[in-house]
Structure 1
Amino acid sequence: MISPRAPFADPEAVARYTDMPPRLVPGLDALHRMTALLLAERCAPDARILVLGAGGGLELKAFAEAQPGWRFAGVDPSAEMLALAARTLGPLAARVDMHEGYIGTAPPGPFDAATCLLTLHFLPPEARAQTLAALFARLKPGAPLVVAHHSFPQAPGEKPVWLSRFAAFATASGVPAELAQGAADGIGQHLPALSPEQDATLLAEAGFVDVSLFYAALTFRGWVAYRP
């Protein structure tokens, strides 16, 4: 969650991935359940779902268990993380088509819904806007998009406070204090995180409507929005 690529090319980091996110992301399991419920509001029992940033497979597993008739296209730039996703899914992997790459690698669709969890914060604003536009183009009219990622106040007087809260949560969740502080420092120095207001604006500028905040957990925010 610090560098967009390097940790996910490290086999040891990949092996730890399914253990670490619940310690860093408050309510991760609930985020996955809420996302599945938001998708199900608009999706039929046989829906096709695009999952961008699918490496590791945690959200894919949650969605597949929640909706046994859904099929998925999972996209991630890391072959190692896609392999981990397949192991995490086990027999459920038969319902997922894996695609190594970025959004341009994703099938054209149109899909009934899309998700992008814990991924967009790696992208600077221009690339983030391009990714949202490409997701929009792959959705059917009325389809939901659910996104969640680091999004917190960026003003000089506020940013350090929120990063210290991120580190405190990680430490309270069992991450060694020095590693938690190192992660917070890395986010502050290297991650192109935006404010919640900026993130919501990018969704609207990509063409999505009814942009609604549904998840707020320390440095993380999540929105549901729809292609008109």
Structure 2
Amino acid sequence: MKKADIFEFFSRLHEDNPAPETELEYVNTYTLLVAVVLSAQATDAGVNKATRRLFQEVTTPEEMVALGEAGLKQHIKTIGLFNAKAKNVIALSEMLIADHGGEVPADRDALERLPGVGRKTANVVMNTAFGAETFAVDTHIFRICNRTGLAPGKTVLAVEKGLEKKTPQPFRLPAHHLLILHGRYVCKARKPECWRCIVSDLCAFRPKTPPPAHARG
């Protein structure tokens, strides 16, 4: 995708959604971190359902450690991989208390040292909580970047580096959420809804998906 088209691509998405936000529910930076860790290989809606009551009781690492692994499992047992995730959340909470005074660090390397926190999770927290221009590449963003020609790459890291290099201001901060939401609701995995996509003319995907019969005419 050409430079001018990339600017137009983000411009249209931003005009359509001027204040994109994560769909994960959280009350502070710590609960955001926990929610993102829990969201690996799970839907945001599923995570929100499990954490609503949890985050009424627990909003700090200290409270999470007090709840304990068994107590946490009771809250999150509807989420995939909940046993491993519960273990990681308790361990990262203990590390936050021991190494960071109970605060979530605004540093990607420090975040990645926490149990259960990989590069993608660290990028989400850096972007959402601390306003960093990071590009967390999930399955939606990986798909869109390759499908449209925006920032093609064979690996998640290659796509991230492509976005970092190609995304212009003033869209660098909201780019992550603009792309995720577009992928979730329009540029879907199985059948992209090209017929109602506001950037379809800038996109390399062929052939475009035609409108369903009931939407024609």
TM surpasses 0.5: no
More strand by share: 1
Q: Please classify the TM superposition score into its range, dividing by the shorter chain length.
A: under 0.3
- The TM-score normalised by the length of structure 2 is 0.23
TM-score between both structures, scaled by the size of structure 1: 0.22
Q: Which has the higher helix share?
A: 2
Larger radius of gyration, structure 1 or 2?
2
